Amino acid sequence: MGPERSNQYTEAGLRELRRNCIMHVDMDAFFVSVELRTRPELRGKPVIVGFPADRSVVLSASYEARAFGVKSAMPMVVAARICPKAVIIEPRHKLYYEVSGQLMEVFESITDLVEPLSVDEAFLDVGGAIRRLGPPRVVGELIRRRVAAELGITASVGIAASKFVAKIASTRCKPDGLLLIGPDETVPYLHSLPVGPCGESARKLRTSSPGWASGRWRTWRPRRCPPLRKCWVPPVSTCTGCRGGSIRGP
Ligand SMILES: [Mg+2]
């Protein structure tokens, strides 16, 4: 890690750091974590937040429940069958929105450039905060510490030069982690991944592309990113939007 205070950096060093300062901050199992603040005896146990009704779905599952295969949006009936020991808690949305408001206040005290994605996650552009607070990793750890101390829940932070890669990074360091992908590491890092984390492009390629149903696209099953890089752009762009071509790398 670099010096703790960014004023020890040269101007060129600061410019370089600012290239690498988009953060995706995401709470770990948000609804469950909020509930466990007042029910600490359930820590380390499989816990599901959702209405225990036939047609309800899982809203949030603790990592212990996920180990049994429970996932968000899974029917509660299925979740109860595969993880019968799970403790089921009815959701309290008003409380979650309150905590979400406090969370956004923490983010906004770090930078003005906050783009909320949902109640428990946001992109932060911290380029302007580096001189004041320190290099990106220090800022990321500061956010994680403050969220833990002030809200009593854990956050995972992905840091990269783009939102797309920052979101992949936060997902892959969960729970309670921080992952920084430097600008120069971005392409090698993406190439090391299965295609799935890259915005689920593989699934969309298989199911949504108009050209997919015919010819060689029907049998093409990219499992890692390098094949996508070599891919003819239109099918990728068609199913991922106009920026789809950018995942091909330089
Ligand atoms: Mg989350």
Domains within the chain, CATH numbers bracketed: 6-28+94-186 (3.30.70.270), 30-92 (3.40.1170.60), 193-248 (no CATH)
pTM of the predicted protein model: 0.77
- Rounded distance from Cα 34 to ligand 1 centre (Å): 12
Partnered with residue 121 across adjacent β-strands are 26, 118
The mean pLDDT of 118-126, rounded to a whole number, is 96
- Rounded distance from Cα 26 to ligand 1 centre (Å): 5
Neighbours of 190 (CB within 10 A): 22
The mean pLDDT of 212-237, rounded to a whole number, is 52
Give the model's confidence band at 201: pLDDT under 50 very low, under 70 low, under 90 confident, else very high.
very low
Is 50 exceeded by the pLDDT of residue 51?
Answer: yes
Residue 15 pLDDT: 72
Residue 218 pLDDT: 46
- Rounded distance from Cα 220 to ligand 1 centre (Å): 32
> In this predicted structure, which of 7-16, 27-36, 58-67, 202-211 has the lowest mean pLDDT?
202-211
Residue 219 pLDDT: 52
Of 247 and 181, the structure prediction assigns the larger pLDDT to 181
Residue 231 pLDDT: 55
Query: Is the Cα torsion angle 49, 95, 121, 242 positive or negative in sign?
Result: positive
Is the preceding omega at residue 116 within 30 degrees of 0, hence cis?
A: no
Give the model's confidence band at 149: pLDDT under 50 very low, under 70 low, under 90 confident, else very high.
very high
- Rounded distance from Cα 231 to ligand 1 centre (Å): 32
Give the model's confidence band at 196: pLDDT under 50 very low, under 70 low, under 90 confident, else very high.
low
Of 60 and 203, the structure prediction assigns the larger pLDDT to 60
> CA-to-CA distance for 135 and 17, rounded, in angstroms?
7
Is 80 exceeded by the pLDDT of residue 194?
Answer: no
Give the model's confidence band at 224: pLDDT under 50 very low, under 70 low, under 90 confident, else very high.
low
The mean pLDDT of 31-59, rounded to a whole number, is 95
Instruction: Please provide the average confidence, as pLDDT, over all residues in the chain.
Output: 82
Is 80 exceeded by the pLDDT of residue 99?
Answer: yes
Give the model's confidence band at 223: pLDDT under 50 very low, under 70 low, under 90 confident, else very high.
low
The tokens of 139 are what? 């800022």
The mean pLDDT of 136-164, rounded to a whole number, is 96
- Rounded distance from Cα 167 to ligand 1 centre (Å): 11
Give catalytic residue positions.
121
Of 126 and 249, the structure prediction assigns the larger pLDDT to 126
The residue type at 148: A
> In this predicted structure, which of 2-6, 143-147, 222-226 has the lowest mean pLDDT?
2-6
Contact criterion met (CB below 8 Å) for 82 and 124: no
